[in-house]
Amino acid sequence: MVNLIGTYECKVDAKGRLMVPAAIKKQLMPVLQDGFVLKRSVFQPCLELYPMQQWNEVMNNMAKLNRFVKKNNDFIRKFTAGVKTVEVDTNGRLLIPKDLVGFAGIEKEIVLSSAIDIIEIWDKDKYENAVNGGEDFADLAEEVMGNINGNELS
């Protein structure tokens, strides 16, 4: 598993290509040749870039779902909607397909944000709103991580 670190601002050209920042490219070096999967986020208007190994782990878990249960089938269909395999080209660029650019509302300026073992790709304004708006982070941190010493994580 790759543990990614950092948040980076960059631009997307008219064709949907972004130059992967050197700092992220360096962190991804061990998995660069395996390729990536790019998908819609479940909870946010952003994209998620999975190194192939992480994607395969997610798919192995999903393969355990009973496909004869309608909710499971519906979930799999929606989770994998718009999924694309992508690669970083020899120039260090990544092409974001048009349908995924539309889903995330990506204009020109974007943010690449590490999320443990994946990278979130955001339109810059949407990222700023998600990080700075909504729920108070201190309250969220206490609710999610507050019992970590008591081993009561959910």
Mean pLDDT of the chain: 91
Query: Which of the four pLDDT bands, split at 50, 70 and 90, describes residue 13?
Result: very high
Query: Which of the four pLDDT bands, split at 50, 70 and 90, describes residue 134?
Result: low
Burial letters 68-79, b for 16+ CB under 10 A, else e = eeeeeeeeeeee
Entry pTM: 0.88
CATH number, span 7-150: 3.40.1550.20
